[in-house]
Amino acid sequence: MSEQGQRALPLLARFLIGILAGPLYRDHVLGDLQEELHLKGSASQSRLWIWQQVFAAIPGLVILRTHDLDLRSIAVTTLLTLVAYGLLVLLGQIVTRPILMSMRDSFSGGPSWDYLYFYMLVRLPGVFLVGALFALVAYRPSQSSHENFARRLAPLLLVLILPQIWFIVAADQIEFVAGRIIRAVADGVVLYAGAGAGFWLKLRLSDK
Amino acid sequence: MESNKNLGEFEMLVLAAILRQDGDAYGISIKQDIEERTGRSPSLGALYATLSRLEKKSLVRSRIGDATAERGGRAKRHYTIESIGQKLLEQSVQALRNMTDGVVSWSFAI
């Protein structure tokens, strides 16, 4: 309850409505709900009433956020992404694998094939997705992608890269320095590319 | 603008509520008007999805109003019907009337 005896909307309800209504309508939908609650007075069932309103609003708010989405573009983008991933796997088999094989044979104690496959097929796509999701949630459309990178993504990049530095410096694995540096650079580039994709998607969604 | 296209039923109710309130219509006032006159209780989500669609079709326009304490300091979004919206509403009501004349007994004049 507020100072005026006015019941405030539950935090989770505000969060749900805020996420679903989007920046254009968030304040108006929440304001309407708050005003309707105020008009109802302090009925004992008001908490139940609030949640009924929130759940009833969800389908409409989903339509509000999605009715302008260009589904054809999304389908084409998804298809192109899958094709690009397929090409990457193919490239890994035809080009990257022989290079890595040659590198591995040149150094003692290099990474196992299991790890290399895990790295190419799971870790890098995972880093891409993390970057995309992070940008989708945390990036601010009012700032450029470089500003967002410097202010938001850089700490996440450090979290990814610091273990590689730790392995080289603290864990006495100086002989793997080349591999660690390559992995750190690859992580960074893929994370940045993922964040770029997520930011692009966020800008498209905020245009609606 | 597809001026010859008829409106959906809920779009007609929303446009009529906006028209009745002469520039002061906003989410809750539209919702209450529909509730009082039709017995239907639309959700805020459905209402705003419809308002957004009508605005994109240029049938209504909106402006941001003042924030008030009972709204938790959040602003209203006021809606006004455009002349093309009013014309389309009249066409749609007329189309409905044409379709139901002789089948349904109308107890009011349009």
The pLDDT of residue B6: 74
pLDDT-above-70 percentage for chain A: 75
- CB-closest option in A34, A58, A68 to B45: A58
The pLDDT of residue B104: 77
The pLDDT of residue A8: 81
Distance CA A35, CA B76 (A): 10
- Contact indicator for B70, A34 with CB cutoff of 8 Å: yes
* Max mean pLDDT range (A94-108, A165-179, B57-71, B76-90): B76-90
CB contact under 8 A, A29 and B27: yes
Residue A97, CA atoms < 13 Å, CB-side half-sphere: 12
Mark out chain A residues that contact chain B at CB-CB < 8 A: 4, 6, 8-9, 20-21, 25, 27-36, 38-39, 53, 56-64, 67-68
Q: Is pLDDT above 60 for A10?
A: yes
- Contact indicator for B45, A61 with CB cutoff of 8 Å: yes
pLDDT (average), residues B24-49: 93
**Hey, is B67 helix, strand or coil?**
strand
CB contact under 8 A, A57 and B43: yes
- CB-closest option in B45, B46, B75 to A31: B75
- Contact indicator for A203, A143 with CB cutoff of 8 Å: no
- More confident of the two residues A106 and A24: A24
Nearest to A60 by CA among B103, B44, B86: B44
CA distance A18 to chain B (A): 12
The torsion region of residue A171 among left (phi > 0), alpha (psi -120 to 50) and beta comes to alpha
**Residue B19 contacts by C-beta under 8 Å, 6 or more apart in sequence?**
B81, B86, B89
Which tokens in the block code for residue B47? 């209402």
pLDDT (average), residues B29-35: 95
- Place A111 in a pLDDT band, splitting at 50, 70 and 90: low
For residue range B86-103, list pLDDT tens digits in order. Answer: 999 999 999 888 888 888
Q: Is B86 exposed, middle or buried (0-12, 13-18, 19+ CB in 10 A)?
A: middle
> What's the whole-model pTM score?
0.58
Distance CA A91, CA A87 (A): 6
Tokens 């009529």 found at: B16
Q: Is pLDDT above 50 for A4?
A: no
CA distance A23 to chain B (A): 13
For residue range A46-67, list pLDDT tens digits in order. Answer: 888 889 999 999 999 988 887 7
CB contact under 8 A, B77 and A59: no
For residue range A159-172, list pLDDT tens digits in order. Answer: 877 777 777 777 66
* Max mean pLDDT range (A12-21, A64-73, A74-83): A12-21
Question: B45: which chain A residues are within 8 Å (Cβ-Cβ)?
Answer: 20-21, 29, 56-64
pLDDT (average), residues B62-66: 90
- More confident of the two residues A146 and B17: B17
